[in-house]
Amino acid sequence: MLIARIRQILYFLHQGVKNLSVGGISAIIAVTSITCSLLLICLYFIISSHLTKAFDLEKDIRVVLYLKESVSKNRIEPLQQKLTNYEEILGIKYVSKEKALEKFHHILGEDAIILEGLNNNPLPASFEIELNHEAKEINRLKSVLHQWEVLPEVESVQGGVEWIEKLSGFIIALRISLCFLGGILIIISLFIIASTIHLTIDNRRDEISIMRLVGATDWYIKLPFLFEGVIEGILGGTLAIFLFWVFYEVLRWRITPCLQLIFNFSEINFLTMKQIFIVLLVGGVIGGGGSLLSFFLQSFQHR
Amino acid sequence: MLIARIRQILYFLHQGVKNLSVGGISAIIAVTSITCSLLLICLYFIISSHLTKAFDLEKDIRVVLYLKESVSKNRIEPLQQKLTNYEEILGIKYVSKEKALEKFHHILGEDAIILEGLNNNPLPASFEIELNHEAKEINRLKSVLHQWEVLPEVESVQGGVEWIEKLSGFIIALRISLCFLGGILIIISLFIIASTIHLTIDNRRDEISIMRLVGATDWYIKLPFLFEGVIEGILGGTLAIFLFWVFYEVLRWRITPCLQLIFNFSEINFLTMKQIFIVLLVGGVIGGGGSLLSFFLQSFQHR
Amino acid sequence: MQPLSAIVQMFHVYKTFDDNYRALIDINLRIEKGEFLFLVGPSGAGKTTLMRLLFREERASSGQIIVYGRNINKIKAGRIYQLRRKIGVVFQDFKIIPTKTVFDNVAYVLQVLGQPKSEIERKVYAALNRVGLEKRMDHYPKKLSGGEQQRVAIARAVVNDPVLLLADEPTGNLDADRAHEIMKLFNDINLHGTTVLMATHNIGLVGKMKKRAIYLREGKIAHC
Amino acid sequence: MQPLSAIVQMFHVYKTFDDNYRALIDINLRIEKGEFLFLVGPSGAGKTTLMRLLFREERASSGQIIVYGRNINKIKAGRIYQLRRKIGVVFQDFKIIPTKTVFDNVAYVLQVLGQPKSEIERKVYAALNRVGLEKRMDHYPKKLSGGEQQRVAIARAVVNDPVLLLADEPTGNLDADRAHEIMKLFNDINLHGTTVLMATHNIGLVGKMKKRAIYLREGKIAHC
Ligand SMILES: Nc1ncnc2c1ncn2[C@@H]1O[C@H](COP(=O)(O)OP(=O)(O)OP(=O)(O)O)[C@@H](O)[C@H]1O
Ligand SMILES: Nc1ncnc2c1ncn2[C@@H]1O[C@H](COP(=O)(O)OP(=O)(O)OP(=O)(O)O)[C@@H](O)[C@H]1O
Ligand SMILES: [Mg+2]
Ligand SMILES: [Mg+2]
């Protein structure tokens, strides 16, 4: 019984491969359609992961705590200790009044001449704080900043909230747009594949109706097509990944210099193993699913 | 003779429409494939025109001419006159030493306390110059700036070149990327359409070979398919534009707020009439071309 | 319920097509188990339509049809294959699968039943031998002559010793000698227990065989 | 060059298929203008193959074929339609276009020639009438019986009074009466000047018609 089952499945697989090789141009078209669709999905993956990276400006999230003029030097150390205990803090740096003036001098550049007329240093001492990823969550950031604002040593807290608010809004918008684009691409892909396989099977409608007439069950007819679809899908996926890799290798050297100019990362990474696996899986699923779908359409058309 | 020709062409058109209606699902698939492809092209058009707009920051191209401390007030007027003669200049504004200090005060904001200790005003007078579109061409800009630098009244010229150099590099990179993306999309589209029409015609290979056997010339067989393809293409184009318009109307209200945050334009425009025309034309051409192409393939296969 | 000796019974069967064309009118018919029956009639009389009803390629518009003890109107779509596996059909237009070789076309009927490979090979060789096509086994149907294709269709119909054999004009593309051989083949099968219903225009054959014949004319049974 | 009275001449024609199967061996044949010639032979003898050579569906492997004064081996691919327009063919497997109605199938041969609509209608009606299908004009072929489809193929072949009519087993799906009518039709056409070459297994018909017959056997001409 089990052996008979296995023999049957092997038979279906064999038929699937045979159909593929008999299918000729139809099979080639099905495979290349799937390849095109999956190429779009690869493109989506790579754009998606790098765009997120481009705007995920981890180290730029900084906050400055300006200290009151009255805070004496020996109270700096314990305050820094206290702040370091906050788990949201990734790094902290004390900037003394003198250091601040130096920096300001540097920032002004040519205009620094105006500082020549100064009698005393008007700039306050401060802590420059770098926040870790968790703090980017806007509400958490607000609450932490509020705690720091009411510290007796702190004059004012600068930066952070508005910028983060803007940025996270942008990232959300970007994510939504990308999901949207990805969704459209997947729908288009599915459509193309279902159409192609539909046409391919439509090409064989006589064959299928003959099989029915000589006593084949529906599943006996369907399974080889299903396997054929899955094999075509996986072939298409493999081809897509290969082509995308070629494409990637060719373009990498051209795009990289431009990138550094605009974004703050300088290298494009290829798809991860997980993404490659997903592409192959999606290929197999849409190949097989397309077969089933078009078989379903078929049965409506020719009953 | 002429009447006979016209009758023949009407016959072909009629056959084309008839094929379409007899074609059923195949015809629907061909039209929707073309629609998908043209949707991608619409998307390309809209992204392309808006990205260019987003980085085409016309009014941000400014140059500042700092004047020498020694230039007396009565030489300002003639100099301004002289500069206005340059056709590259869109607008020019004189900023006196007092005005410059005021502005600096404003820029520093809270930090303006440092200006309190000043004895005299160290800031120079200047001309803020807005350049017109032509000047953005990098070489032209360089030569104009050079001419101004050597004017006796001018201490130094600030801004412009590096920023423009960066920007134009970026825009070129962007344009190339977009053309590249567009090219890929069009190739994918053509492929999908040629495949679909090939399968559609392959579905009718028996029909075509019978036509040949009963004495039809190649063109007599081809033309109805050609017309069918063109009609399908234009139908697909119309559908694509309609769907894209729906898509546009639905998304406009969601995307607009995010846009203002990132780019300096706040409205997405729909395709121009010219672009709509191009989409329809491309539809017709790829529809007809796809037919011819697959017919060509066919003749290799079945000779 | 019905006597076991009848393999096909038709009661007041009508078949009207979409365009209101009445192809079969009040057909009443009983075919005994093991019988050899001819269906004769001019072109368009309804012979093919009658056969199509028996293996549910078409459904009767009204009336009851009982095949092998089952009312076939009541068979669910998903179970029709069980009926068809008991019936061998030689289609008037052959209905050979163009993408399978001659061997695979005939073997398909047995593969569907899940028979072991060795047995399939034995049976297919035997069937092709009987119709004289053993040398053409690995050819694709497109390459065969009209008569050869018809013989493939015959081999497929008889390969599994069906309970009922429906042969629709099975000798239309065959020369007299070949036709005679095929009739001998059908007779053999009939002697081994298969009921045979054969539609034909070849009155000569009908005369020679000395079997019962039904005459169809414009959808009605004329003689019995 | 060749006498005007011959419409078909074949000199030492061989046809070998890809698989080295020799379907025709050293065929020499001369068909006179206005002749009615039968081509008889068992299944697989090469009858269809011989006809296919005459309208260049296949090319001879060697030898010369002259039809209507032209060496058809030398016709360019783009000009074959000129040959085919002079020849009416009843294909053994009918070759009817499934997406066109009966009327359109027959009319296509005339549309290809650019004939005016009124004349096309007149001729198509007449041809369909001759084969008894005038009532079936607007049907699609799938809905027709085997014999009806065969008659559509016959109507198409004769609709434009071809110079040469090739009929490949044109009565295989027809009852004796219908077959007799078709033979009368061919005879009529023949009397109006069309040369007829008809392949058949029906020795009875051949006997009745009292015409010249060529016997093909395993690709060779046996009698003449
Ligand atoms: N699907 C259909 N729709 C409409 N009419 C049909 C359909 N199928 C068959 N017919 C008509 O029913 C009649 C009987 O057809 P059938 O095929 O049973 O004839 P037949 O006796 O087999 O003829 P032949 O000897 O020519 O094969 C014919 O006139 C045919 O045109
Ligand atoms: N394309 C092909 N490739 C290989 N062999 C072929 C091809 N076409 C025909 N044959 C073989 O050539 C032989 C002659 O075929 P043909 O069709 O001419 O026979 P026929 O005399 O018309 O037979 P029938 O009466 O059965 O129609 C057959 O044995 C056939 O199998
Ligand atoms: Mg019939
Ligand atoms: Mg033949």
Ramachandran region, residue A109 (left: φ > 0; alpha: ψ -120 to 50; beta: rest) = left
Q: Indicate the residue type of D218.
A: E
Token pair of A66 as six digits:
């300006």
Assess whether A171 and A260 both reside in one domain: yes
* Closest residue on chain C to D201 (Cα): C175
SS (H, E, C) chain B: CHHHHHHHHHHHHHHHHHHHHHHCHHHHHHHHHHHHHHHHHHHHHHHHHHHHHHHCCHHHCEEEEEECCCCCHHHHHHHHHHHHCCCCEEEEEEECHHHHHHHHHHHHHHHHHHHHHCCCCCCCCEEEEEECHHHHCHHHHHHHHHHHHCCCCEEEEECCHHHHHHHHHHHHHHHHHHHHHHHHHHHHHHHHHHHHHHHHHHCCHHHHHHHHHCCCCHHHHHHHHHHHHHHHHHHHHHHHHHHHHHHHHHHHHHHHHHHHHHCCCCCCCCCCHHHHHHHHHHHHHHHHHHHHHHHHHHHHHCC
Contacts of residue C147 in chain D, CB cutoff 8 Å?
Answer: 42-44, 201
- Distance of CA A191 from the midpoint of ligand 4 (Å): 44
Higher pLDDT, D196 or A194: D196
Cα B273 to Cα B44, B207, B251, B267, D212, distances in angstroms: 16, 41, 20, 18, 74
> Which of C56, C48, C57 has the alpha carbon at shortest distance from C219?
C48
CA distance C9 to A242: 63
Q: Is B25 on the interface with D (CB under 8 A)?
A: no
Reduced to 3 states, what is the DSSP secondary structure of residue A76? Answer: helix
Higher pLDDT, B217 or A142: B217
Q: Is A196 on the interface with B (CB under 8 A)?
A: yes
Ligand 2: residues whose CB is within 6 Å? C 143-148, 173; D 17, 19, 21, 23, 41, 43-49, 92
Assess whether B190 and B129 both reside in one domain: no
Q: How many CA atoms lie within 13 A of A118 on its CB side?
A: 16
Contacts of residue B262 in chain A, CB cutoff 8 Å?
Answer: 170
Residue B51: pLDDT band with limits 50, 70, 90:
low
Assess whether B124 and B186 both reside in one domain: no
Token pair of D152 as six digits:
């559509």
Instruction: Answer yes or no: do A122 and B116 touch at CB < 8 A.
Output: yes
Assess whether B154 and B178 both reside in one domain: no
Hunting for tokens 């298409």 — which residue is that? A236
C39, with CB counted inside 10 A (0-12, 13-18, 19+), is buried
Higher pLDDT, B125 or B184: B125
D84: domain CATH number?
3.40.50.300
Residue B11: pLDDT band with limits 50, 70, 90:
confident
Instruction: Answer yes or no: do B215 and D84 touch at CB < 8 A.
Output: yes
**Angle in degrees, CA A170, A175, A179, rounded to 5:** 150
Where among A113, A128, A159 does a domain terminate?
Answer: A159
Q: Are B215 and D112 in contact (CB under 8 A)?
A: yes
Atom of ligand 1 nearest to the CA of D139: 4
CA distance A256 to A241: 21
Atom 28 of ligand 1 has which residue's CA nearest to it?
A: C44
Task: Pick the range with the lowest mean pLDDT from A149-158, A212-221, C37-46.
Answer: A149-158
Q: Is the pLDDT of residue B55 over 60?
A: no
Assess whether A209 and A273 both reside in one domain: yes
Torsion of CA B212, B217, B221, B227, to 10 degrees: 170
Instruction: Answer yes or no: do D108 and B211 touch at CB < 8 A.
Output: yes
Ramachandran region, residue D64 (left: φ > 0; alpha: ψ -120 to 50; beta: rest) = beta
Eight-class DSSP state of A271: P
Ligand nearest to the CA of D40: 2
Per-residue pLDDT, B108: 65
Instruction: Answer yes or no: do A216 and C97 touch at CB < 8 A.
Output: no
Assess whether B226 and B273 both reside in one domain: yes
Chains B and A touch (3+ CB pairs under 8 A): yes
Where among A159, A188, A216 does a domain terminate?
Answer: A159
CA distance A254 to C48: 70
Order of strands across the sheet with D36-40? D87-90, D164-168, D195-200, D36-40, D212-217, D220-221
Atom 2 of ligand 2 has which residue's CA nearest to it?
A: C143
Length of chain D, in residues: 224
CA distance B102 to B115: 10
Buried b (16+ CB within 10 A) or exposed e, A245-280: eeebeeeeeeeeebbeeeeeeeeeeebeeebbebbb
Instruction: Answer yes or no: do B217 and D81 touch at CB < 8 A.
Output: yes
Domain that holds residue A26: 2-56+165-301
- Distance of CA C148 from the midpoint of ligand 3 (Å): 19
ipTM summary value: 0.78
Eight-class DSSP state of C31: E
Hunting for tokens 């983060």 — which residue is that? A164
Sign of CA dihedral B141, B146, B149, B151: negative
Assess whether B259 and B139 both reside in one domain: no
Q: Are D65 and D13 in contact (CB under 8 A)?
A: yes
Instruction: Answer yes or no: do A117 and B114 touch at CB < 8 A.
Output: no
Assess whether A117 and A84 both reside in one domain: yes
Ligand nearest to the CA of C44: 1
Long-range contacts, A215-219 (Cβ 8 Å, 24+): A215/C81, A215/C84, A215/C85, A215/C109, A215/C112, A215/C113, A216/C81, A216/C108, A216/C112, A217/C81, A217/C112, A218/A299, A218/C78
Hunting for tokens 């459904």 — which residue is that? C59
Q: What percent of chain D has pLDDT over 90?
A: 81
Those residues whose C-beta lies under 8 Å from the C-beta of residue C143, and which sit 6 or more positions away, are D17, D19
Atom of ligand 2 nearest to the CA of C150: 26
Assess whether B35 and B123 both reside in one domain: no
Q: Is the pLDDT of residue C111 over 60?
A: yes
Point out the residue among A36, A200, A261 whose CB comes nearest to the CB of B199: A200
pLDDT mean over C45-70: 94
Task: Give the count of domains, chain B.
Answer: 2
Assess whether A169 and A148 both reside in one domain: no
Q: Are B104 and B123 in contact (CB under 8 A)?
A: yes
Residue B181: pLDDT band with limits 50, 70, 90:
low
> Which DSSP string corresponds to C177-200?
HHHHHHHHHHHHHHHTT-EEEEEE
Those residues whose C-beta lies under 8 Å from the C-beta of residue C65, and which sit 6 or more positions away, are C8, C9, C10, C11, C13, C53, C54, C71, C72, C73
Q: Is the pLDDT of residue D65 over 70?
A: yes
CA distance B270 to B249: 9
Q: Is B17 on the interface with D (CB under 8 A)?
A: no
Long-range contacts, D104-108 (Cβ 8 Å, 24+): D105/D141, D105/D152, D105/D156, D106/D152, D106/D155, D106/D156, D106/D159, D108/B211, D108/B214, D108/B216, D108/D156
Instruction: Answer yes or no: do A11 and C81 touch at CB < 8 A.
Output: no
Query: For D78-137, how does the pLDDT look when each residue is reduced to its tens digit (9 = 90+)?
Result: 899 999 999 999 999 999 999 899 999 999 999 999 898 899 999 999 999 999 999 999
Per-residue pLDDT, A74: 82
- Give the ranges where D72-223 is alpha helix by DSSP (H): 80-84, 102-111, 117-130, 146-158, 176-191, 203-209
Mean pLDDT of chain B: 75
Sign of CA dihedral A247, A249, A250, A256: positive
CA distance A214 to C109: 6
A partners (3+ CB pairs within 8 A) are B, C
Atom 2 of ligand 1 has which residue's CA nearest to it?
A: D143
Mutation site, A39, A123, A195, A200, interface B, largest B CB count within 10 A:
A195
- D41 occurs within a structural domain: yes
- Smallest CA–CA separation between B216 and chain D, in Å? 6
Atom of ligand 1 nearest to the CA of C45: 21
pLDDT mean over D190-212: 91
> Which of A224, A226, A282 has the alpha carbon at shortest distance from A16?
A224
Mean pLDDT of chain D: 92
User: Which of D25, D38, D49, D93 to mutate for ligand 2's pocket (most ligand atoms within 8 Å of CB)?
Assistant: D49
Q: Is B212 on the interface with D (CB under 8 A)?
A: yes
- Distance of CA D24 from the midpoint of ligand 2 (Å): 10
Those residues whose C-beta lies under 8 Å from the C-beta of residue D144, and which sit 6 or more positions away, are D102, D136, D152
Those residues whose C-beta lies under 8 Å from the C-beta of residue A28, and which sit 6 or more positions away, are none
Helix-, strand-, coil-residue percentages of chain A, each rounded to 5: 75, 10, 15
Q: Is the pLDDT of residue A303 over 60?
A: no
D142, with CB counted inside 10 A (0-12, 13-18, 19+), is exposed
Per-residue pLDDT, A58: 44
- Distance of CA A294 from the midpoint of ligand 3 (Å): 32
Residue B57: pLDDT band with limits 50, 70, 90:
very low
Residue C202: pLDDT band with limits 50, 70, 90:
confident
Contacts of residue A39 in chain B, CB cutoff 8 Å?
Answer: 188
A64, with CB counted inside 10 A (0-12, 13-18, 19+), is middle
- D161 occurs within a structural domain: yes
Q: What percent of chain A has pLDDT over 90?
A: 7
Distance from the Cα of residue B51 to its chain's centroid: 7
Q: Is the pLDDT of residue A60 over 70?
A: no
Cα B94 to Cα B121, B123, B127, B130, C139, distances in angstroms: 17, 14, 5, 12, 94
Residue B165: pLDDT band with limits 50, 70, 90:
low
Token pair of A47 as six digits:
């754009």
Neighbours of B213 (CB within 10 A): 19
Query: For A208-228, how does the pLDDT look when each residue is reduced to its tens digit (9 = 90+)?
Result: 889 999 999 988 888 888 888
Assess whether B283 and B175 both reside in one domain: yes
Mutation site, B157, B192, B250, interface A, largest A CB count within 10 A:
B192
Assess whether B139 and B176 both reside in one domain: no
Where among A132, A159, A186 does a domain terminate?
Answer: A159
User: Which of D17, D59, D171, D198 to mutate for ligand 2's pocket (most ligand atoms within 8 Å of CB)?
Assistant: D17
Range among A102-111, A128-137, B132-141, D23-32 with highest mean pLDDT value: D23-32
Task: Pick the range with the lowest mean pLDDT from A59-63, A117-121, B101-105, B175-179.
Answer: A59-63
Residue B234: pLDDT band with limits 50, 70, 90:
very high
Q: Indicate the residue type of C53.
A: L
Per-residue pLDDT, C161: 93
Eight-class DSSP state of D140: -
Per-residue pLDDT, D123: 96
CA distance A147 to B67: 49
Per-residue pLDDT, A213: 92
> Which of C4, C39, C37 has the alpha carbon at shortest distance from C202?
C39
Chain D segment 57-116 residues within 8 A of B by beta carbon are 57, 77-78, 81, 84-85, 89, 91, 95-99, 108-109, 111-114
Domain that holds residue C163: 34-59+76-223
Token pair of B246 as six digits:
């729906």
Task: Give the count of domains, chain C.
Answer: 1
Phi and psi angles of residue A195, each rounded to the nearest 5 degrees, phi first: -60, -50
- C27 occurs within a structural domain: no
* Closest residue on chain A to C90 (Cα): A214
